[in-house]
Amino acid sequence: MTEISRYYVPGLNVEDHVINVPLHWQWEEGAAQPDSSSFTGEHIQLFYRVVTAANNVHRQLPLLLFLQGGPGGMGPRPMSADSIPWLAEAVQHFRVVLFDQRGTGRSSRVDSSSLSRRGGSPRENADFLKDFLADSIIRDCEFLRTTVFEGQKWATLGQSYGGFLTMAYLSTFPQAISASFVTGGIPHIPMNAREVYEHTVPRMMKKTQQYYDRYPDDIATLSRIADIIAQGDVTLPNGDPVSVRRLQMLGGDFGMKPSFERMHWTVDTAFTSPDSEELSDGFLMELFSRTTSYGDELYWVLQEFIYANEQINPINWAAHHVLRETKEFDESARPVMFIGEAALPEIFEEDSALHAFKPAVDLMMQDTQWGKIYDVDQLLRNEVPVHAAVYFDDMYVDSGLQLDTLSRVGNSHAWVTNEFEHDGARSGNVFKHLYDEALSLGDLESLL
C-alpha cells in the first residue's frame, strides 16, 4: 500500500492510496487467496480513499466499502461532509472506503487514447476489456481487504451497478462481508440482457410521457428540433454528427430528479430566436455535454456485458433490437421518445470517444463465454444480512425483477418505496433508513 496524500475537505478526513493489482486475476473458486501466477503478468493500479468524519479520525470504526454505480464508475468526490447524504450518515458509523473501479478515475484509466496505445487486435482488446467486469472488480476488493486491511470484515453499500457487485461479492467471498446495503441495484438472476430491456423500454416510454404531461409545449419544440436534425446537416461543437438517435439519448437521466426540469430548460434555448430554424450553439453544447462519452467511456463499453455470466447466448446489442421492435422509438416517430441507459451501435459510430472501442465491442456482442459472476446456490444459502432499497418506479433496474431475485437470496430484506427515483441515495435519507432497519433487527451486532 502507498499513501499518496492525507488532507481534509470540510468535515472529512481523507487518505488517498494506490496499490498494484493484476490485470487478469488467477483465483481458484473457493480459494481465500489468488494464485501466485496472477502476479507474473500485466499489472494495473487501483486507487482508493479512506474517508472518516473529522471528529472520528482516531476512532477504530468498522469498515464500509462503497460499491459505485456504473459500470465503469469512479468513486464519489465529496465536497464536504454533507454534500453526499449517504456519506454524511455513513461516516458517523464507519471508516468508508471509496475506490475507483479499475479503468476509471485514478485507477489506470481506460479511454480511447489508452486503448489505441495498446495497439492490440480487436480480439485482444475485447479480451482486455473483459478484465474490467464484476469478477475482476470484486477480486480487487478482496485483495484490498485481505492485504491492506489485514482481513478485517467490512460492510458494503452498493448503489445501482454496485448492487450487481454486491451479489457477485456475496456469491464469491461471503466470508468477507459483515452486512450489505443496496440502493436501486439488485440484478435479475439468472441474467438475460434482452429480458432486462423488455422490462425497461416500456418504462422509458412512460417516463417520456410523464415529461410531456408536465411540459406539453415541449412536444412541438422537440419535434421541430428532431426534424431539423433529421435533415443531416447538424454537428456538435467537437465535430461529431448529430442524429435523432443522439437527441433521444438525452433521456438517459429520466430516472433521476430533476431530469424533467433539466430537459425543459435545455429545450427552452434550443433556437437562436423563437421563429428561427437554427439551433443555438448553447443547445448544441448542452446536447454534446449530456451525451458525450468522453471521461465515461467504460460506462457504455461495458453496459450490456454486466448481464453476462458464464455460458450465454450472444448478447448481440440487446437494447438496440428491443428499441427497433418498438415503433414509438423510431427516429421518424413523433412525438420524440427518449431513451434511458441503452448502449446502441449507432452511438459507437457517432460518438468519437467510442470509435476506438467499436471493433472490440462488436466481437464481445457475439461472445458466449464469460467469467462466473453469480452463484445461485450460494446466494440461496446466503447468511450475510442484505438490506435493499427497491425503487418501485426505477427506470433502470426493474423493481419486479429485483424482488424476484431477492426472493431467492437468503437473509435479504427489501424496502420497496416510490418516494425516490434511482438516485435516491444521493438525494434522500435512504441509507439511514436501511442502516436503522438493520440495527433494529440485530443485523449489525458484529459491528458494534
Yes or no: say if 259 and 208 are a contact pair by the CB < 8 Å rule: no
| pLDDT of amino acid 32 | 86
Question: Which are the contacts of 76, defined by CB distance < 8 A and separation ≥ 6?
Answer: 66, 68, 84, 87, 98
SS3 state at 81: coil
Count CB atoms within 10 A of the CB of residue 316.
Answer: 13
Residue range 121-169, pLDDT digits in tens: 999 999 999 999 999 999 999 999 999 999 999 999 999 999 999 999 9
Q: Quickly count: other Cβ atoms within 10 Å of residue 235's Cβ.
A: 12
Least Cα distance to 320 among 289, 297, 342, 349 occurs for 342
C-beta separation of 423 from 217 below 8 A: no
Please tell me what DSSP assigns to residue 389: E
Reduced to 3 DSSP states, what percent helix, strand and coil does the chain have, rounded to the nearest 5?
A: 45, 15, 40
- CA distances to 60, 324, 402 from 204, in Å: 45, 14, 18
Contacts of 407 (CB under 8 A, 6+ apart): none
- What order do you get walking across the sheet with 386-391 strand by strand? 2-9, 12-22, 43-53, 95-99, 63-67, 154-159, 177-183, 386-391, 412-417
Q: Which long-range contacts (CB under 8 A, 24 or more apart) does 152-155 make?
A: 152/62, 152/63, 153/62, 153/63, 153/177, 153/178, 153/446, 154/62, 154/63, 154/64, 154/65, 154/97, 154/178, 155/62, 155/63, 155/64, 155/65, 155/94, 155/179, 155/180, 155/181, 155/444, 155/447
Give the pTM.
0.96
Per-residue confidence in pLDDT tens, the chain, 448 aa? 577 899 999 999 999 999 999 999 999 988 889 998 999 999 999 999 999 999 999 899 999 999 999 999 999 999 999 999 999 999 999 999 999 999 999 999 999 999 999 999 999 999 999 999 999 999 999 999 999 999 999 999 999 999 999 999 999 999 999 999 999 999 999 989 999 999 999 999 999 999 999 999 999 999 999 999 999 899 999 999 999 999 999 999 999 989 999 999 999 999 998 888 899 999 999 999 999 999 999 999 999 999 999 999 999 999 999 999 999 999 999 999 999 999 999 999 999 999 999 999 999 999 999 999 999 999 999 999 999 999 999 999 999 999 999 999 999 999 999 999 999 998 879 999 999 999 999 999 988 7
Sketch out the chain's domains with CATH numbers. 2-190+374-447 (3.40.50.1820), 193-364 (no CATH)
Angle at 249 between CA 427 and CA 197, to 5 degrees: 80
Q: Which residue has the cell 440502493?
A: 183
Q: What is the pLDDT of residues 223-273, one digit of tens each?
A: 999 999 999 899 999 999 999 999 999 999 999 989 999 999 999 999 998
Q: Please give the single-letter amino acid code of residue 295.
A: G
pLDDT in tens, 92-119: 999 999 999 999 999 999 999 999 999 9
